[in-house]
Amino acid sequence: MGKKVNLYLIRHGETYLNRYKRMQGWSDSPLTEEGKLVAVETGKKLADTVFAHVYTSDSGRTLETAEIILKENNHSVPTINRRKEFRETFFGGLEGEYSQVALEKVAEAADVSSFHELRQKHTVKEVADFIHKADPYGHAESFDQQWDRIQAGLEEVVGLEYEDEANILIVTHGNTIRNTVSQLCKEVDLSVDIRNASVTVIQHLDREYAMVSFNQ
């Protein structure tokens, strides 16, 4: 039997583009003061957790969040590894748009009355593909495009050297967490919002994944 590892997937703290309700995928903005505070609280919650490795996306907001979380840790912390594989969805021509306007366009592309209805009626994969369809430039990532890169990042992480029951921290993004959970774990309500600085823990053993906790 192989070694067991716990993947701690944490969404970044609130940013200014979050605050102003703008679409924020590969575009970036710094954490708000409230975003920093919730990251501190998450750090305190995980203060006694020993992390064997730490990863973030290559966005500034995930690095900033990780640094705040690790400042609260009671153990020596590893070097932060930044990887583009853990980026948020690229929203193409919808980047920077007001979220309400962009999501109305996505709902229209899916022929439903609202984005909430879209999430209720369609799978995570289908929702991602409707976002791609709604982008007038056709540049927004499809589900498969994003999953291919996330999966490559996960394969790197679970292939690392670590002790049995090791913990690995990955500070990433809401859609990245949602799409990951949709592929690896079943029977999870993914229509809910992934909260800023929330913690999702997935266990990996012998190429199998299991949910430990979600969006806590």
Extract the tokens encoding 139.
């540049």
pLDDT tens digits for 81-95? 999 999 999 999 999
**CA–CA separation, 188 vs 176, rounded Å?**
15
Instruction: Please report the pLDDT score of residue 186 as a whole number.
Output: 84
Extract the tokens encoding 156.
């790197």
**CA–CA separation, 86 vs 117, rounded Å?**
27
Side chain identity at residue 25, one-letter code = G
151: pLDDT strictly greater than 90: yes
Residue 2: pLDDT band with limits 50, 70, 90: confident
User: Tokens 């592309």 correspond to what residue?
Assistant: 109
- Asked if residue 8 lies in contact with residue 170, where contact means CB atoms within 8 angstroms, the answer is yes
**CA–CA separation, 129 vs 122, rounded Å?**
10
* 3-class state of residue 98 by DSSP: strand
**CA–CA separation, 191 vs 46, rounded Å?**
26
Flag whether the pTM goes above 0.75: yes
Helix (H) or strand (E) holding 145: helix 143-158
pLDDT tens digits for 173-191? 999 999 999 999 988 999 9
Rounded (10°) angle between helices 124-134 and 143-158: 130
- Asked if residue 7 lies in contact with residue 157, where contact means CB atoms within 8 angstroms, the answer is yes
- Asked if residue 88 lies in contact with residue 101, where contact means CB atoms within 8 angstroms, the answer is no
Domains and CATH numbers, the chain: 7-90+152-168+182-216 (3.40.50.1240)
pLDDT tens digits for 57-66? 999 999 999 9
3-state secondary structure 163-212: CCCEEEEEEECHHHHHHHHHHHCCCCCCCCCCCCCCEEEEEEECCEEEEE
Instruction: State in Å, rounded, how far the first CA of the chain is from the last one.
Output: 29
1: pLDDT strictly greater than 70: no
